[in-house]
């Protein structure tokens, strides 16, 4: 456990020593704040034009914002994972990690937990954006909490994919591009599903975004939780096998 904590601390420091953490956080919070303001302004105008019709403004705003955050994460996750192992390979320090008593598994878990911590930090930052809704209105708390849970699980799965891809190359730019491409395919895979039959159900199930919709609506389904946890586990397993293959090749 101490080894995992040491790796976690090392990775967290590496995030904030470089400009990456500050740039990512600034861009993420700016985009979420901008869209939040846009949704508020748009719905305020609509409500003024339709006084007789009741509109769930807080609910519409949070759902729209969560959908926006999920899209933004497609671009940000590759930046968080690109250097986790690619930079180690480029510097030549990967051999030290693979041969020290820390071990592949503990190194992998430590790095993954660091990326999860940064993801959680971003989501907590975005929560400040929607805080005015609780000051000036009374939004339902359950959809907000379930939405953030869904975003965290979604981000966790994407981070595992990016972590695996980072073990395959020493070029961070290549890692970013491949991670974004794979994430985009997993996002849009439902479009390529057959129109009917069992194949449609299977392909639709593999869509990472389809499992997020219920969370955003306030529904926590164990099926979706299991999907994201399994997805993350598979990504971490592939990353572990990739590290093992490097050790044997070395």
Write out the chain's pLDDT in tens, 250 residues: 778 888 888 888 888 888 888 888 999 999 998 998 888 887 766 655 554 455 677 788 889 999 999 999 999 999 888 888 887 777 767 766 666 666 788 888 999 999 999 999 999 999 888 888 888 878 788 889 999 999 999 999 999 999 999 988 888 899 999 999 999 988 888 776 666 666 667 777 788 888 999 999 888 999 999 999 999 999 999 999 988 887 665 5
CA dihedral 30, 36, 37, 38 (to 10 degrees): 110
pTM over 0.75, yes/no: yes
Give how far the C-alpha of residue 63 lies from the chain's centroid of Cα atoms, to the nearest Å.
Answer: 17
Two tokens, residue 211: 């499992």
CB 157 within 8 Å of CB 208? yes
Two tokens, residue 64: 């729209």
pLDDT (0 to 100) of residue 238: 94
């Amino acid at each position: 456990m101490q080894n995992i904590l040491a790796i976690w601390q090392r990775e967290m420091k590496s995030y904030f020593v470089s400009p990456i953490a500050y740039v990512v956080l600034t861009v993420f919070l700016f985009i979420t704040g901008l869209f939040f303001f846009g949704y508020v302004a748009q719905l305020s105008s609509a409500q003024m034009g339709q006084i007789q019709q009741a509109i769930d403004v807080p609910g519409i705003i949070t759902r729209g914002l969560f959908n926006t955050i999920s899209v933004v994460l497609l671009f940000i996750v590759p930046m968080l994972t690109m250097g986790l192992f690619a930079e180690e390979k480029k510097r030549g320090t990967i051999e030290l990690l693979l041969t020290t008593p820390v071990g592949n598994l503990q190194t992998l878990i430590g790095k993954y937990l660091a990326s999860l911590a940064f993801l959680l930090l971003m989501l907590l930052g975005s929560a400040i954006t929607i805080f005015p809704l609780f000051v000036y209105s009374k939004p339902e708390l359950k959809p907000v909490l379930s939405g953030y849970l869904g975003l965290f699980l979604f981000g966790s799965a994407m981070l595992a994919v990016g972590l695996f891809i980072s073990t395959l190359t020493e070029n961070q730019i290549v890692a970013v591009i491949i991670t974004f491409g794979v994430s985009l395919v997993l996002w849009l895979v439902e479009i390529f599903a057959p129109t009917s039959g069992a194949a449609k159900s299977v392909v639709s199930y593999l869509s990472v975004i389809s499992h997020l919709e219920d969370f955003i609506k306030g529904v926590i389904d164990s099926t979706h939780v299991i999907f994201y946890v399994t997805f993350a586990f598979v990504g971490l397993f592939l990353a572990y096998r990739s590290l093992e293959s490097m050790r044997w090749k070395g």
